[in-house]
Each structure stands twice: as C-alpha cells, then as structure tokens.
Amino acid sequence: MNLADADGRPLSGRAAAGDPSAGHPVSGHSVAGDGLEPCAAADASRAASAGGAARHVLVVEDDRALLGLLDEWLAELGCRVVPERAGSDVAATHYDLIIVDVPFPRQGGHALLQRVAKDYPKSPILALSSSFFSGIDNRGGVARALGVAYALPKPVKRDALITAVKSLLPPAP
C-alpha cells in the first residue's frame, strides 16, 4: 500500500503499515477494532459542513491507514466515509460515490470493479491503484477499460483526490 502525506511524500513505518498502535500519522485517527475513531478536527469539519445532508462515500479497501486518511480528507467536503465490510448488507444503501482500491487491475481487479458496479449501478466509481502511471488521463482509456468514472494512481495526493471527488459527486440537493 502506497500512502502519501498532503505534500506527496510517501508515508513509512508503522503508520503506513497500518499498525493500530501507531494511529494515523496525518489524520490523528486512532484505528481500533473494526472501525475508525475520528479525531476532533474531522468531527469539527463534519459539524461545519452539516448545513446539508452528508454525502455517503463507500470505500472498498482493507487498509485502515488509507481509510483514516480518506475519512479525514473527505470530511472536509462534508462526506461520510463508509468502509465496505465482508458480510455486511451495504448493497441496500445508496452511495454518492464509491472509491475502490484496485491492487492488480489485470489480475482480478477488473472482477472486483465489475462486482461493485453491479452492486451499486447508480454510483460513480473512483479507482485507486499503484499500478496506474502518474501521467494517466484520469477519465481516459484506463478508466473506460475498467468501467469506472475516474482513475487515480497511488500514492494518491490530497489535491488530486479532492479534485476527483468534487468532479464525481452529484450536485448537492
């Protein structure tokens, strides 16, 4: 898993490895049990954006550190990050956006994306992968070949993620 801080510097050590005792180095989230415990800054950001309904973003990703980072960054946009859990009944819920980590697009990753597209046919999909080259056209051939709305290479930079999410979220009600 390749994570980057807000300046694009790769994260390393226990936090990048997802060690729960390290907490998240950027967001301040402590990763405990099956869920994320947001830091006070993320809670304040959510409260500040509470003027409208929260946007729900499903994240198909097993890396707790990346989940914490996405939770912090997307909270600034008024989004609530919901991790997909094995065995949970999240398919019955509508999501404004779905973010999928695709470790190996050519080796099973396409099947994962097809399942997600089938489960959530009305939600745009943002694919993240360290297999994508940094200069790809985010909405171009790679995205079309994978059947997603947007593709971002990892390590993902905060600005690139925010730009992608803003372009994919439907207009606020």
User: In this model, does residue 37 exceed pLDDT 90?
Assistant: no
Domain 13-168 has CATH 3.40.50.2300: yes
Give the pLDDT confidence score for residue 149 in this predicted structure: 93
Instruction: List pLDDT tens digits, range 142-160.
Output: 888 888 999 998 888 999 9
Label each residue of the chain as H, E or C. CCCECCCCCECCHHHHCCCHHHCCCCCCCEEECCEEECCHHHHHHHHHCCCCCCEEEEEECCCHHHHHHHHHHHHCCCEEEEECCCCCCCCCCCCCEEEEECCCHHHHHHHHHHHHHHHCCCCCEEEEECCCCCCCCCCCHHHHHHCCCEEEECCCCHHHHHHHHHHHCCCCC
Domain boundaries, the chain: 13-168
